[in-house]
């Protein structure tokens, strides 16, 4: 049977349609497969980045909590998920730096700079690492680069200036910091470093000015307050200094700090608040560390003499002589006690020993006074003359010598 021309059988039509749809389907699936693969790949990469960021946060939290091993594990996992993030390599470097694994720390910081050559943190911690191994010039170069890479963080220029100070380049440090004073006008750290430079140059008024400005900018920074108080003490401003030392000792973190107790007692002596000073020196000499603290026993002996506390004066003289047998101070205290008790011969021996150890004008004057009490006038005259040779400005020696005649 013939078919009519131009008319296809139903089977042929259906077959043709099937082939067309089949061809379209194959082509469509092929194109969609490529698109889907790219989409899935991008999604996986995005997911990995998100997980890497989460691991970075966990590593940071563990690091600041002091759990270095946990921090390392999270940082390593973060890098394994996404090794393109410079800050993660910096964190790993800091972790290894705290673990004292300097080689791995160096590698991490270098990896960070490879991914971000302008990363200021990586440069900064390279400087910290270099300082740890006493490579100061290298540390300085890293700090200078960090300050250039991030001009908003004063920590970097401060670190560079501190290294210049360590290298003895004080003028360079001052010039360098002067370029940042306007930019970081409200930063206490820059003025604190300038204060330390002034101290090294023995410019106490300038040091007081810088530390005072720093304290105004950072009133809760105890290190600045302490530096200011020590300068004020050196300037003879004992009342201001004593108030600061008293406040610092009231802070729980500073409770029992022997150095602060010493300087406060020193201020109290100059303020003639001897009873309060004695209380501090008694505390300083009472514990195990105090048994060998010569300065504490010396201070206790001096205030005990003023307060006529003969028992503590005797104890201080004995203890100081035992701790520092080659020092004149213990013998001076013993001589003062003997002289007060009317034991002039014993005082004479004590002062003679003191002068033999250290011919200070003070010891020579005390020896001369004791000799004068014992009517050894010529010997007293010689002692006063020797005191004036040691210190021509010793008013007591001059007056005593004039009283008995040249």
pLDDT of 117 reads: 95
Higher per-residue confidence, 227 vs 21: 227
Domains and CATH numbers, the chain: 257-325 (1.25.40), 326-406 (1.25.40.10)
pLDDT of 405 reads: 79
| 3-state secondary structure at position 151 | coil
Give the least confident one: 28-37, 39-48, 381-390.
28-37
pLDDT of 377 reads: 94
Mean pLDDT of the chain, nearest integer: 89
Confidence of residue 3 (pLDDT cuts 50, 70, 90): very low
CA-only gyration radius of the chain, Å: 39
Q: DSSP string spanning 275-335? A: HHHHHHHHHHHHSTGGGG-HHHHHHHHHHHHHTT-HHHHHHHHHHHHHH-TT-SHHHHHHH
pLDDT of 20 reads: 40
Q: DSSP string spanning 353-386? A: HHHHH---HHHHHHHHHHHHHTT-HHHHHHHHHH
Please give the Cα distance from 213 to 191 (Å, whole number).
7
Confidence of residue 30 (pLDDT cuts 50, 70, 90): very low
pLDDT of 344 reads: 95
Residue that is written with structure tokens 């008293």 in the block: 246
pLDDT tens-place string over residues 66-106: 999 999 999 999 999 999 999 999 999 999 999 999 999 99
pLDDT of 49 reads: 79
Confidence of residue 44 (pLDDT cuts 50, 70, 90): low
């Amino acid at each position: 049977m013939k078919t009519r021309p131009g008319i296809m059988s139903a089977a042929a039509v259906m077959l043709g349609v099937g082939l067309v749809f089949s061809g379209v389907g194959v082509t469509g699936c092929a194109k969609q497969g490529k698109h889907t693969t790219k989409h899935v790949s991008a999604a996986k990469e995005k997911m990995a980045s998100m997980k890497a960021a989460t691991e970075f946060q966990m590593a940071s939290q563990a690091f600041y909590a002091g759990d270095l091993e946990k921090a390392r594990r999270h940082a390593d996992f973060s890098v394994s998920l996404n090794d393109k993030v410079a800050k993660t390599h910096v964190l790993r470097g800091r972790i290894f730096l705290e673990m004292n694994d300097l080689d791995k720390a160096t590698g991490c910081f270098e990896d960070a700079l490879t991914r971000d050559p302008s990363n200021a943190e990586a440069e900064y911690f390279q400087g910290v690492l270099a300082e740890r191994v006493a490579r100061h010039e290298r540390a300085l170069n890293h700090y200078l680069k960090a300050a250039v890479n991030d001009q908003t963080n004063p920590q970097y220029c401060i670190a560079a200036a501190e290294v210049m100070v360590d290298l003895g380049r004080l003028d360079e440090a001052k010039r360098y910091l002067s370029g940042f004073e306007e930019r970081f006008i409200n930063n206490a750290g820059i003025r604190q470093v300038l204060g330390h430079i002034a101290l090294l140059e023995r410019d106490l008024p300038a040091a007081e000015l810088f530390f005072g400005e720093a304290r105004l900018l950072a009133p809760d920074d105890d290190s600045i307050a302490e530096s200011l108080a020590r300068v004020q003490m050196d300037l003879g401003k004992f009342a201001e200094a004593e108030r600061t030392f008293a406040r610092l000792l009231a802070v729980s973190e500073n409770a029992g700090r022997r150095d602060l107790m010493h300087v406060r007692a020193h201020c109290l002596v100059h303020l003639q608040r001897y009873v309060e000073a004695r209380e501090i020196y008694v505390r300083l000499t009472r514990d195990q560390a105090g048994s060998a603290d010569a300065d504490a026993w010396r201070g206790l002996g001096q205030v005990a003499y003023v307060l006529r506390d003969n028992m503590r004066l005797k104890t201080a003289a004995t203890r100081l002589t035992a701790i520092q047998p080659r020092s004149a101070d213990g013998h001076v205290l013993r001589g003062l006690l003997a002289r007060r008790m009317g034991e002039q011969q014993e005082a004479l021996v004590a002062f003679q020993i003191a002068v033999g150890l250290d011919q200070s004008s003070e010891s020579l004057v005390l020896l001369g006074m004791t000799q004068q009490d014992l009517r050894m006038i010529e010997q007293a005259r010689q002692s006063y003359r020797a005191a004036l040779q040691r210190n021509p400005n010793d008013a007591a020696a001059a007056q005593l010598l004039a009283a008995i005649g040249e």
